[in-house]
Structure formats: C-alpha cells, structure tokens
C-alpha cells in the first residue's frame, strides 16, 4: 500500500461498530474540519454499515491516508459463544487447568452458582510431552513427532483454530514457537496462536484463557478484517489501516489479525481516550468516562489526567468469567443500553436487559418489527425523544408501535404505559450506576469527587439521573456525544505494551538487571513503531512495575518515573507502591517489605490531534434561535408531564445558561436537564451541568 509517511496533511477516518449503531468521525488535517456519520449496524454484513456511515458523513475512503477501526466483533463473539471450533495443545499433565481455573466463589450461599464454561471443550484439549522449569531451562525435551501426530489427527475433527500453552513459556518460548510452527505446517488453513505472543507473564490459567480466547475469536475477526481491508482497497483506499486496542492505542491491522483478543474493548477504550483529551483541554485531572450506547453502558476512570489501566480483565462477569491477561483500559460494562429489552422476570418483577433489541429489529419505535418495549421506547413515550427529529429527522420514530409494546408488558403489572416507562428508566439508571461504582467505589475512589463525562447516543438522556443517584455534582456532555467513541479514535496514538515477569525482593533488586529488561522491551517497542507506515510526531516511553507486599498473592501496577529509577531510590519506589495500594485497597503497610513481580513498558508514538473546537461567544441568555419549541416531558421530580423548553445545541453559545427542566437536542443525541439542574456552555462548546440537590 502507498502511505503518507509524514502522517500530515490528509484525511483520517475513524469508524466504531457498536451493537446498534456504527459511528464515523473524520478529521481533515489540512483544514482542521471534522465530519460525522451514523447508521444502524448491519450485523450480517458489517461492511455495509460502514459504507452507510461514510455516505452520511460525505467522505470517501479513497481520500483518506489513515483508516482507524474499532469493533465489538471480538467481544461479541466471546460473549455469544459463536467462535471457531478450537483445539488446545498444552503441557503434559496440565490438560485441565483451563477448566479448574481459580475456583472463584463470589457468592458462597448462592445455590444456583455456575462456574465458568471453557471456550474449548475437554475432548479438544491435548497434552504435549515436554516440560520447562520455572527458570526456562529444559526439564523434558519437546516430542516433536507427538506434536505432528496430534496436528494430523486434528485434520478430521473440523478444527478451525489451535491454541498453544506450554508451561513457563513466558521464560522461554522456544518449545511453544516450535509447536506453533509444526501445527501451521500440518494445518495451514488453521488459525494458530501461542500464549507467549500475547502474554509474557506468569499465571498459567490466565495465560491459557487468553490464548484460548484469541484462537476462539481469531478466524472470525481475521476474516472480517480481511474483508474490510479488501473492501477499502476496492473503494480506492491506498493508505494505512490500523485497529484500536483495548488500551486505546493503535496497532497495524496485520497485528490485529494475529492478536485479535487485543481488540476486545476497542470502541469503549477509544471513548475513554476521547474523554481524556477533553479533560486535558479543560485542565481537568479527574473524571469518570461514561458511555451508553444502544446495547451496553461502560465506565472508565481518568485520574491525574491518565486513563486507569489494568493488566487483566474478567470477560463476562466475575462469577463465571474467563480472564484475559493483556493490558487494557480498566472498563466496567453492564448490559443496559437504549435497546435493552424490558421483560417480566421471576416473581412477576420487571427486568431491563441484558438482552438487547440491537439494530435488527431494534426498539419497537424503530418500526422494524420489534414488539418488546426498550429503554428507547420509554424515552420516546416520556417526551424525551422527538419522533420527527431522531438522528436529525433521518430516522422517524413510531410512537404507536412503542406504545403498543409498552402496553403489552404494563398490563401484566397493572400499570399504565407512563408508569411502566418511568419504571424502566429507574431500573436502567440503577443498573448503570453499578458500572460507575465498579470503577470508582470498588477501586477505593469517591465517585462524588469526579466530574462525569457522558457520551454515547443514549448517555446524555440519563446522565443527570445517574449523577444524582451517585452523588456526582458535575456532568459534562462533550461535543457530538453520539459519535464520541469514533471521535476518540482521532486522539489515539500508536502504542505497544510489554511486560516481563521478574520475581525479586525490592530491597535485593539489582537495578542493572532491571535496566537490562526495561531496555530490551523499550527497544522492541521502538522497532515496532519504526516499522509503522505512519511516522509519529514523538515517541514516549513509560515504565511501571507490578508490586506486592511479601507474602501477598496479587500485585498492583505502580508507575516508575525515569528520575526515581535512575537514582535507584528504593524508598521512593516503595512509597509510590504504598500510595497506590492505599487507594486500591484502603490500606497500606509502609513498614512491610515489597516484591517486584513484573516489569512493564508502554511505548507510544504520539500522533497529530484535532484542535479543540471553540464555541462562539454569547451571553447568559441563549439566543432566540436556539429555542426550538416547548414540549411536554415527564419528570418524576414533578410527578408528571411538564412544559419543557427544547433547545438546538448547534445554536447554543459560550456562556449560555439553561435551568432545568429542559432538553438539548442535536443530531445523534438528546441531553435531559432535570428540574433543579443548571447547564452552562463552556468555551469548547461542552455542556457543563451542575446537579441540583
């Protein structure tokens, strides 16, 4: 492919595929112009949904030098269990560690508890004769003929992917690499993944779970990315194609095809990166990034200007989840979105989600055949959405269909449609508040001390209610919230993360040995960025270490500034660890010795960013042109419908003030200002809402 090696003076297109909508944001680096598009996701043919967003934004793939992409295809394949027929090759004697796991029992008295279900059934797990010791030395040589025989036996089993996990390969990957090569020789059509390519940390269960997930989703994700790449080429695109990782960083599509599991949270991560950019523009250090789309709601945290990350995550919920051991932004997700379906559950109780109407058929009001009430239907019936102005009038809503769907469930509970719709929103708000608590309160942070940056097409509809539920006093609705995850990709940088397990007592650590490990990872990262088709403006390197108190099992990640490491200041490193531990767990032990468990390096190639959007100056009173109409909107605080001013966001100016109740409408979202809340438009055009008591 031809590339723009300077990374300047061209069009950059970013596309995020969600469960309900596909969003596009494009940035012209020459003029500084931004373009946005939104269309329903076409799950049977995802490429067609991307085409629809390009047409809506009036951009052409052939005009771009860089195409950035985030998708839910990897995470949905995992959660829906629709991946490939996968086999596992594992060290002899350890066939069942994937199923045994960590024996998590989060609810000791739950008689209906179900432990995790492996992605690979036991009949497709095979033992490989070999063994390395913990230091990486060979205890038992690899039996290559046995591996070859196993690979040949898989040919008749319908296997599409193979995962390889050998004990202690994070110390010495030679056996694993050789097994992968043999399998590829025998099964050239199979997707083959080895654990050391994804994680070079200890913990065999987490590593086998990670490589199994990568192999399980690999064929579907790789095929989709290949199809999209071919489609872009046919459309005249000759630039560079990058995917968004779960860290929010960019990596080449060739890497994404091999390491698909790194894309699990690509869209949500991009949203957090966008929120981080907004915070940097405003000089805001601490914020909660909250994203509510059509299918799910997600939350992440920005502390001291940086998005909080984790070295692993549980996909599918704590009790029956499978761990993924890769760096990612610390995001918690709940199955509540605009398309979440309201149904009667056990005990004649109302439940909202996690099932979603998606984009087909979608909520009943979409008029595409949906018959069950959703959160979007509830918002329409309560006057919070304008049926004639949804997506700027491009997609009229069917109020009668929404009312019929709502009545069908409401009658079973002895409610009218309005009380039913209000109940759906109350349940949805409570569920979404749990996502915020999971990344704040459960991390030792006070949610009330943070500003909540809210985006996603459905987020601004519920922002004030969620904030009031949690005691959050300030909410910020950024520019174009309905396209924000795609917009956030325009702020993403090239990024490569590396980790090496290194068990040593901090007091005994030899800094020369640590420096050697760090330097090797940094050199690997610089080389990876040097191979990129796009040259970044600057390369930034960040070091960190996973640390724990001696005798502990689990570690926390601690940033290590260059000056502290260069001065070999053990006391300063220990003090930073104590501080992080106190925030995470509410306690620390300054007098107790600490271990270094793993060393981490992040190598980032900084890209050119869109300039902050400046709002036109105005006075406290919004201009007359901004007030679109007065509508009847239901507010529980007012015990019914009330006349409510409706404003066009595009007409609002810097310093304009609005007191609730009010609605602020824009192309892909509506912001609800509850009674007692006060909105001010800041210099960047953000809606800053002070939550009333």
Among 223, 193, 224, 218, smallest CA distance to 208 is for 193
pLDDT at 278 over 90: yes
Per the CB < 8 A criterion, the answer to whether 16 and 248 are in contact is: no
Question: What six digits make up the tokens of 450?
Answer: 């943070």
What gap in Å lies between CA 681 and CA 301, rounded to an integer? 23
Among 573, 556, 555, smallest CA distance to 565 is for 573
SS3 at position 390: helix
> Could you read off the pLDDT of 31-57 as tens digits, one per residue?
888 899 988 888 777 888 888 889 888
pLDDT class of 4 with cuts at 50, 70, 90:
very low
For the chain, what is the mean pLDDT?
90
What gap in Å lies between CA 68 and CA 239, rounded to an integer? 11
Can you give the pLDDT at residue 514?
94
Instruction: Count CB atoms within 10 A of the CB of residue 335.
Output: 17
Highest mean pLDDT out of 30-39, 286-295, 302-311, 375-384: 375-384
Whether the bond between 652 and the residue before it is cis, its omega within 30 degrees of 0, is no
pLDDT class of 8 with cuts at 50, 70, 90:
very low
Average pLDDT over residues 11-25: 89
> Max Cα separation, the chain?
81
pLDDT at 475 over 60: yes
Among 116, 251, 174, 141, smallest CA distance to 536 is for 251
Question: What six digits make up the tokens of 466?
Answer: 């969620």
pLDDT at 317 over 70: no
DSSP class per residue in 477-515: E-SSGGGHHHHHHTT--EEEEEEEEEEEEGGG--HHHHH
Instruction: Count CB atoms within 10 A of the CB of residue 81.
Output: 10
H helix intervals, 58-195: 73-80, 97-100, 144-154, 174-186
Instruction: Count CB atoms within 10 A of the CB of residue 53.
Output: 27
> Quick one: what percent of the chain has pLDDT higher than 70?
97
pLDDT at 1 over 60: no
Whether the bond between 661 and the residue before it is cis, its omega within 30 degrees of 0, is yes
- What distance lies between CA 679 and its chain's CA centroid? 29
The angle at the Cα of 296, spanning 402 to 334, to the nearest 5 degrees, equals 120
- What distance lies between CA 180 and its chain's CA centroid? 30
Pick the CATH number of 78-221 from 3.30.70, 1.10.3470, 3.40.50, 3.90.350: 3.40.50
pLDDT at 105 over 80: no
Comparison of pLDDT for 314 and 426, the residue scoring more: 426
User: What distance, in Å, lies between the first and last C-alpha atoms of the chain?
Assistant: 57
pLDDT at 322 over 60: yes
**For the ranges 191-195, 374-378, 481-485, which has the lowest average pLDDT?**
481-485
Can you give the pLDDT at residue 178?
97
Question: At which residue do the structure tokens 């070091």 appear?
Answer: 543
What gap in Å lies between CA 128 and CA 93, rounded to an integer? 9
Can you give the pLDDT at residue 72?
82
Write down the CATH number for the domain with range 494-606.
3.30.1490
Q: Which part of the chain is CATH 3.30.1490?
A: 494-606
Give the global pTM. 0.89
H or E segment to which residue 540 belongs: strand 538-549
pLDDT class of 18 with cuts at 50, 70, 90:
confident
Can you give the pLDDT at residue 106?
60
Question: What six digits make up the tokens of 196?
Answer: 């050391």
> Could you read off the pLDDT of 193-230 as tens digits, one per residue?
999 999 988 889 999 999 999 999 999 999 999 999 99
Question: What six digits make up the tokens of 591?
Answer: 């007098």
pLDDT at 6 over 70: no
Question: What six digits make up the tokens of 405?
Answer: 């769907």
Q: Which part of the chain is CATH 3.40.50?
A: 78-221
What gap in Å lies between CA 459 and CA 671, rounded to an integer? 8
Average pLDDT over residues 130-134: 95
Average pLDDT over residues 680-686: 95
pLDDT at 107 over 90: no
pLDDT class of 2 with cuts at 50, 70, 90:
very low
């Amino acid at each position: 492919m031809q590339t723009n090696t300077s990374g300047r003076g061209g069009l950059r297109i970013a596309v995020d595929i969600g469960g309900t909508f596909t969003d596009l944001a494009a940035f012209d680096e020459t003029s500084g112009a931004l373009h946005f598009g939104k269309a329903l996701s076409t799950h049977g043919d995802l490429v067609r949904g991307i085409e629809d967003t390009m047409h809506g934004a009036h951009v052409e793939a052939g005009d771009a030098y860089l195409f950035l992409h985030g998708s839910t295809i990897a995470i949905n394949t995992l959660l829906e269990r629709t991946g490939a027929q996968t086999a596992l090759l594992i060290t002899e004697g350890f066939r069942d560690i994937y199923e045994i796991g960590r024996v998590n029992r989060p609810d000791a008295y739950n008689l209906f508890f179900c432990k995790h279900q492996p992605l690979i059934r036991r009949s497709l797990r095979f033992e490989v004769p070999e063994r390395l010791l913990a230091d990486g030395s060979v205890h038992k040589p690899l039996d290559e003929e046995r591996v070859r025989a196993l690979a040949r036996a898989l040919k008749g089993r319908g296997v599409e992917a193979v995962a390889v996990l050998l004990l202690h390969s994070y110390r010495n990957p030679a056996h694993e690499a050789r097994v992968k090569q043999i399998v590829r020789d025998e099964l050239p059509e199979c997707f083959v993944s080895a654990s050391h390519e994804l994680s070079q940390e200890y913990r065999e269960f987490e590593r086998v779970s990670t490589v199994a997930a990568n192999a399980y989703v690999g064929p579907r994700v790789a095929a989709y990315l290949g199809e999209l790449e071919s489609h872009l080429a046919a459309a005249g695109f000759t630039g560079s194609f990058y995917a968004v990782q779960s860290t929010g960083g960019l990596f080449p599509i060739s890497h994404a095809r091999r390491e698909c599991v790194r894309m699990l949270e690509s869209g949500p991560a991009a949203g957090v990166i966008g929120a981080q950019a907004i915070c940097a523009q405003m000089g805001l250090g601490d914020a909660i990034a909250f994203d509510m789309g059509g299918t799910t709601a997600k939350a992440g945290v920005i502390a001291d200007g940086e998005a909080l990350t984790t070295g692993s995550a549980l996909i599918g919920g704590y009790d029956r989840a499978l761990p993924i051991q890769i760096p990612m932004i610390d995001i918690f997700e709940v199955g509540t979105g605009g398309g979440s379906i309201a149904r009667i559950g056990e005990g004649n109780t109302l439940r909202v989600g996690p099932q979603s109407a998606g984009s087909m058929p979608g909520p009943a009001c979409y008029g595409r055949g949906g018959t069950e009430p959703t959160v979007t239907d509830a918002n329409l019936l309560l006057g919070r959405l304008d049926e004639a102005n949804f997506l700027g009038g491009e997609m009229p809503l069917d109020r009668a269909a929404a009312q019929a769907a709502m009545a069908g469930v409401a009658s079973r509970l002895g409610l009218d449609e309005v009380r039913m719709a209000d109940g759906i929103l109350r349940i949805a708000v409570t569920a979404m508040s749990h996502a915020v608590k999971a990344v704040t309160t459960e991390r030792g942070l006070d949610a009330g001390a943070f500003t909540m940056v809210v985006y996603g097409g459905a987020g601004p509809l519920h922002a004030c209610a969620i904030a009031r539920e949690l005691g959050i006093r300030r909410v910020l609705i950024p520019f174009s919230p309905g396209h924000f995850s795609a917009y956030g990709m325009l702020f993403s940088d090239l990024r490569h993360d590396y980790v090496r397990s290194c068990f040593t007592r901090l007091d005994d650590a030899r800094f020369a040995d640590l420096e050697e490990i760090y330097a090797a990872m940094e050199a690997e990262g610089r080389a990876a960025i040097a191979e990129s088709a796009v040259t970044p403006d600057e390369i930034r390197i960040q070091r960190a270490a996973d640390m724990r108190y001696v005798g502990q099992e689990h570690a926390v990640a601690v940033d290590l500034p260059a000056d502290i490491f260069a001065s070999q200041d053990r006391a300063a490193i220990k003090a930073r660890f104590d501080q992080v531990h106190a925030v995470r767990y509410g306690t620390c032990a300054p007098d107790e010795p600490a271990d270094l468990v793993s060393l981490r390096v992040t190598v980032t190639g900084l890209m050119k960013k869109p300039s902050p959007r400046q709002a036109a100056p105005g006075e406290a009173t919004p201009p007359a042109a901004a007030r679109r109409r007065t509508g009847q909107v239901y507010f529980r605080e007012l015990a019914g419908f009330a006349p409510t001013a409706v404003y066009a966001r595009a007409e609002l100016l810097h310093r304009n003030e609005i007191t609730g109740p009010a609605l602020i409408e824009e192309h892909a979202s509506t912001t609800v200002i509850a009674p007692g809340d006060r909105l001010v438009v800041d210099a960047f055009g953000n809606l800053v809402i002070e939550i009333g008591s």
